[in-house]
Amino acid sequence: MSSPLPSDGSGGILHAGSSGRAPVETTGPAVEISGWFLVAISGLFLGLRVYCKHLKHRGLWWDDWILTTAWLALLADAIVNTICKPLGLGMHLRDIDPDNLSTLAFLGYLGASFSMLGAVWSKTSFALTLLRIATSKKMKVAVWSIILTMNLTMTTNVILNWVQCNPIPRGWNMAIPGSCWDPKINAYYGVFAGVYSGLMDIVLSIIPWAIVWNLQMKRKEKIGVAVAMSMGVFAGSAAFVKSSKILLVLDGDFTYEGYNLIIWGNVEVAVAIMAASVPVLRVLVREVRIATRRRYGQGAESASDDTTFHKKNFGGGTLHRSSTVMVTAGHQDRLLDSSSSSSSINWEIPHILDPQKAVPGRILQTQEITVQYHERDVTDTAGRMV
């Protein structure tokens, strides 16, 4: 993207006096409302993602922290747009107080920077997640290439916005003597960067299918996992729409027409955050489904019977349930790890359905198990606590 205000041939900001017309047409409220809505809905998905990690007693990794940083960039962009609204964001250039143009231009650069960085960071987070499950060296090299090229392309786009004028402050304050290059340079590069980012979203959405399809899982489960990890295609679609709006910087009324570019930039970031969170949220859906079955299905009756049995035979000890996931992985001749705690039991053991299909280092099967145990408060025949 280029300057958030229309430029003359040297890249400077065109000034216009207020027309004094009433009422003044503005798209500012649409920018503000949509921005805060996207912050809220993407924040909800991110919060549930973190909760699911906590639910499974897993710490946060680099992909979680980078995704959180992307959400903070989206939040910062919403704050900047809210500040810009009373200054004239969304109004026709002719209706804006000339004294506000420099401040509006500077904040426009700042908001655009947050938007672009939020987009690339959210996609980087998902790419890092793919690195954790990539099954081949070639696939990992491809993902790393996407991460590096996306960050280089988008970071360059951010830098170009700030250095298009000499001295730099002339980009948002035409009172400063100096010169600027042709605004078409930034606009066309912005289109290239946006389209490339969208294409990488599509590629990152395809990679999970190649990974999951080689696992020994039920086909229905494969499709469910792959679809959940392919939601980034919607972020790519938003990136394409945003790119189609970038050339509005070359029009003469960007402060009014540019709301499309701002909104779709925020949509791209928010959708990328939600798409990166969806695969983790499958854990929460599974937990809710199991809890529902226990309460309203046969699980509830079974739990009641089990509780009665333990109270009758073990002196009223409290019955505990703990749901966990058993992951079978690694080499077929090695026991990986076995650990337990008072609240959960996690087993990782080799389990091969077909030894002929066993491949060292690959996940062979995933199963959900339910462990029941109780606190025994009865004594043995020697009078000791068991």
Domain assignment of residue 382, yes or no:
no
Is residue 127 located within the same domain as residue 264?
yes
3-state secondary structure 199-228: HHHHHHHHHHHHHHCCCCCCHHHHHHHHHH
Same domain, 189 and 322: no
* pTM, rounded to two decimals: 0.70
Pair (230, 347) in one structural domain: no
65 and 104 belong to one structural domain: yes
SS3 content of the chain, % helix, strand, coil (to 5): 65, 10, 25
73 and 122 belong to one structural domain:
yes
List pLDDT tens digits, range 230-280: 888 999 999 999 999 888 778 767 788 788 889 999 999 999 999 999 888
Same domain, 263 and 214: yes
**Encoded tokens for 99:** 């004294």
- What pLDDT score does 381 carry? 33
DSSP string, 249-308: GGSS-HHHHTHHHHHHHHHHHHHHHHHHHHHHHHHHHHHHHHHHHHHHSHHHHHHHHHHH
| Structural domain boundaries, residue 272 | 28-288
The count of structural domains within the chain is 2
Q: Residue 374, SS3?
A: strand
User: Could you say which residues of the chain have pLDDT below 70?
Assistant: 1-22, 252, 283-386
198 with 335, same domain?
no
CA angle 122-235-41, nearest 5°?
70
Say if 15 falls within a structural domain. Answer: no
| Residue 85 DSSP symbol | G
23 in any annotated domain? no
β partners of residue 347: 338
Query: Which pLDDT does position 2 carry in this prediction?
Result: 41
Do 191 and 277 reside in the same domain of the chain? yes
CATH code where residue 243 lies: 1.20.1070
Q: What pLDDT is attached to residue 385? A: 30
